[in-house]
Amino acid sequence: MDRKDEHNTIDGIDSVETMDDMTFVLFGASGDLAKRKIYPALYNLFIEGKMPSSLSVVGLGRRKYSQEDFHSIIKESLESFSRRDVDSSHLDEFLESFRYFIFDAMEPQSYQDLKAFIEEREAEKSIPENRLFYLSVAPSLVEPITESLHKSGMTELDGWKKLIVEKPFGSDLHSARHLNQELTKVFDEEEIFRIDHYLGKPMVQNLESLIRPNPILKSLWNHEQIASVQITASETVGVGTRAGYYDKSGAIRDMVQNHLLQLVMMTALHHPEKLSAKQIEEKKTKIMEALRPIDKDDVATHVVRGQYEAGEMDAQAVVGYKDEKDVEETSNNDTYFAARLYIDNEYWKGIPFYIRTGKRMEKKSTRIIIEFKNEVQEADSQGAMSNLLIIEINPNESVGLRINLKDDGNEKFEPAYINFSKNLDQQPEAYENLLNDAMAGNSTYFAHWNEVELSWKWIQPILEAFEADELPLHGYNAGSRGPEAAEKLLNEDGFTWWEV
């Protein structure tokens, strides 16, 4: 069975292409993301035989590395970050594809030289003009690089071209639209792969097919029985060394507009029938269109913003956000965000989605909880709590249910957690899934423009309310469960955040 057949029959994804021979042009080849994620992902795909038979990887950077330097950097990256141990016999074969090219993104001549270098390697390795450009660079460089690629003629090809871009995709609705306009002058929407690494996580990808092969989950996941949905992405870390970026973006741009709204879309998909990549994209767009707008005047009613104060993490005192390095003393930046959302479509009508994210929270956890209605007879109410379907995405990957069993004395009910955890060692990393899909041309698990635009559109009034300081900035102690106001947000509707 060749790859194409395999994909068509196993995944049934109709937009999948075969893994063509290609050139993989990596901007930011000595950057942190390349070392931590991209090289390890490519290596593991290579070990699994998921790479094209002929591949040229060109790593670009300003530093004057030799080929040997570059290969050493990759080797170190794999030794530090690959989930598989590095096997020296395979490593040489893997590295053979990689060449370093000294590059200045603001220098037109660099693009001409790069073009010649790519073509030389294409000729050498008999690779057709299929070129994937991966922009692992500062946001400010994305537009100029794309424009220069175009001007250099490097994107005029006999084969195909693709562009991978990292977050952030703009910093508000206006800038995102502008960025997309510029990119689409050079690349079609189908050629642009916007990475949201949450979509690469195996348990998020399982969401798409969780119900379908599981009749029992299908019957359970019934909107007449669902009381609410909670999506949490809490971190224990503080702002760390990222204040320069983070103090301008806040949790709302760093986590909500992209990751949390993508998780809302993936959760709300609810598709009893198998969908193609295109249908999933359309359905996600429809969900965003049905997401009830929060007008500027309503922001304070539905949104809670917070900022961490001094506290304790693991019995260690930690400073508050305002005392972090490179954060202004007067910063009113949000490090915590919680909101109540409604999707006004037939399926989700009236079922609240609660989302929250924060830094310096008690626990590191990304999870989705479906809470079911608790229609238990009075005589049985002792101790019976509402049933939950718990999908943990990070740091563990698990699916669980909370049910009620009789307690040891057979007198009351007590909650029991029935749970399945994936063996993480064998799990592909998010970037493996995403790079494999991008190289194969499958855009299912990427952020499509419609989604991104609608996300910014939904976020925009909240952004403006934040910027106008129109709602309180609630302090919360580092190491806590976030501001009390976020608990009140749910209590108003008779709910509570489940810490499970």
Residues that bind its own copies (CB under 8 A): 6, 10-12, 48, 202, 205-206, 209-210, 212-217, 219-220, 222, 225, 273-274, 372-377, 379-382, 384, 387, 389, 399-401, 403-406, 408-413, 416-420, 422, 426-428, 433
Q: Which is nearer to its own copies, 317 or 405 (CB)?
A: 405
Q: Which is nearer to its own copies, 134 or 372 (CB)?
A: 372
Q: What is the CA radius of gyration of the chain?
A: 24
Q: Which is nearer to its own copies, 241 or 382 (CB)?
A: 382
Q: Which two tokens stand for residue 315?
A: 């019995």
Among 259, 302, 448, 474, the one annotated catalytic: 259
Based on the residue annotation, tell me whether 7 is a catalytic residue of this protein: no
CA distance linking residue 307 with residue 475, whole number of Å: 5
Q: Which is nearer to its own copies, 44 or 234 (CB)?
A: 44
Amino acid at 237: V
Q: Which two tokens stand for residue 277?
A: 């990549």
Please name every residue paired with 162 in a beta bridge, in sequence order, or none if there are none: 132
Q: How many CB atoms lie within 10 A of CB 362?
A: 17
Three-state DSSP state, 466 = helix
Residues 6+ positions from 172 with CB-CB distance below 8 Å = 456, 459, 460, 463
Minimum separation from the CB atom of position 286 to its own copies (A): 22
Cα dihedral angle (427, 429, 433, 439), rounded to 10 degrees?
-140
Q: What angle do CA 80, 83, 87 make, to 5 degrees?
A: 80
Q: Which is nearer to its own copies, 232 or 404 (CB)?
A: 404
Q: How many CB atoms lie within 10 A of CB 80?
A: 12
Minimum separation from the CB atom of position 431 to its own copies (A): 13
Minimum separation from the CB atom of position 192 to its own copies (A): 22
Minimum separation from the CB atom of position 291 to its own copies (A): 26
Minimum separation from the CB atom of position 430 to its own copies (A): 11
Q: Which two tokens stand for residue 212?
A: 């379908």
Q: Which is nearer to its own copies, 80 or 374 (CB)?
A: 374
Q: Which residue has the tokens 């069993």?
A: 405
Rounded to an integer, what is the distance from CA 317 to the centroid of its chain? 31
Minimum separation from the CB atom of position 51 to its own copies (A): 15
Strands 226-234 and 353-358: parallel
CA distance linking residue 391 with residue 398, whole number of Å: 6
Residues annotated as part of the active site: 259
